[in-house]
Structure 1
Amino acid sequence: MNTPATADAPIDDFSQCHAGIFRKLDMLGELPALLQPAARAREVAEKALDFFREAIFEHHLDEERELFPAVIESAEAGEEREQVKAMARRLTDEHRELERLWKSLESGLKKVAKGQFSDVIDVATIEALVSRYRAHAEFEEQAFLPLSQQILGRNANHMAALGMSLHMRHARGPLNAYV
């Protein structure tokens, strides 16, 4: 003869099964919230790839081929010119370092842009690139560009020549289309 507790065992089994189903359903319910950051990661990676290819490397070339030489040539001989040369060397060296960091991230970013996320990006390298680029741009904004304005501003022809040179390099489309 069965005891009442033993007779309820099949029903308890169903109830326990539902508890497991509820846990899995709760987990599945988390998926929509997780998909949004994944989609954003793909979008950010795609835009970063385009931006670096199309804008950043071109920006570095503009500075190195046009801006730095124009400012060096227009600087007064002696201390001012040596200061400008040192700043241009520093900025050019930083360009190479930033480009090296970018190259180390590029293949991982391509994978993220395709939705492949497992250990493809070195977070420390991204953080280094972002912080070093910010410091690089701040130095340009606070030190080099104001000095460049001062030096090139002494002669309207020098400023106009730089403007024309940049215009000719970018006749195919503006650099700040990505900004």
Structure 2
Amino acid sequence: MGKTTTSAAPVFEFLDAAHREIQVQLVALRDLALAIVDDRFGPAEQLQAKAVLAHFNGAARDHHLDEEKHIFPALLRSHSPDLVQATEQLVQDHGWLEAMWLQIEPSLDAARHGNTWFDPSEMLQAVEVFQQLYHEHIELEESIAYPQARKLVAPGDALTMGREMAKRRVVAQTAASAGA
């Protein structure tokens, strides 16, 4: 078992780093929502909004795909009712997080372009719910899902997972660079 944990470590370090970046972006998102509410959304906030939009429209979605494709299947096959239930909750969370983001994203993008056709207070409330759901989701992954997956993922599978995740990111970065 120790070799599996060691071999899978880079994959989980990568996933943990994605969580840290999501948390940074959540703070930035809330700061932006507060700036909109307080009518102090200027050029610096427009640049920050562009970065937050890019993160939640790209890297955060890729992170969820990584989990659903590579981490959750092993957990669902575990035959542990509690682990299966937690994993099903995580999959459901991804759906709720996407729905919440689709509610927030048009308002943030509008503000980035100087438009405020939306209700800033409603946006702030949506951001706070999004932030809370993400924090709870990450806590469940880091306290239950990832530790169990480290035990269940075979070393060869971890290597394949890491390669596939890295390849997808290179393709996404190349596409983003071409579109910039």
Q: Which residue of 2 aligns with 1:99?
A: 98
Percent of residue pairs bearing the same amino acid type:
22
Equivalence map 1:21-170=2 (5 Å) = 37-73=41-77, 75=78, 78-79=79-80, 82-117=81-116, 119-121=118-120, 122-152=123-153, 155-170=154-169
The structure showing larger relative contact order (alpha-carbon pairs under 8 Å, at least 6 residues apart) is 2
Is the alpha carbon distance of 1:120 and 1:46 closer, same or farther for their aligned partners in structure 2, counting shifts above 3 Å? farther
Superposed CA RMSD: 2.6
Amino acid at match of 1:86: Q
How far apart, CA to CA, are the structure 2 residues paired with 1:169 and 1:39? 32
TM-score normalised to the size of structure 2? Answer: 0.63
Secondary structure of the residue aligned to 1:116 is coil
SS at match of 1:56: helix
1:132–1:66 CA distance, 2 compared to 1 (3 A): same
Where does the alignment leave 5 or more consecutive residues of structure 1 unmatched? 1-33, 175-179
Q: Structure 2: where are the runs of 5+ without partners?
A: 1-37, 174-180
TM-score by length of 1: 0.63
Distance 1:149 1:113 in 2: 40
Structure index of larger Rg = 1
Letter of the 2:71 partner, please give it: L
Letter in 1 for 2:82: Q
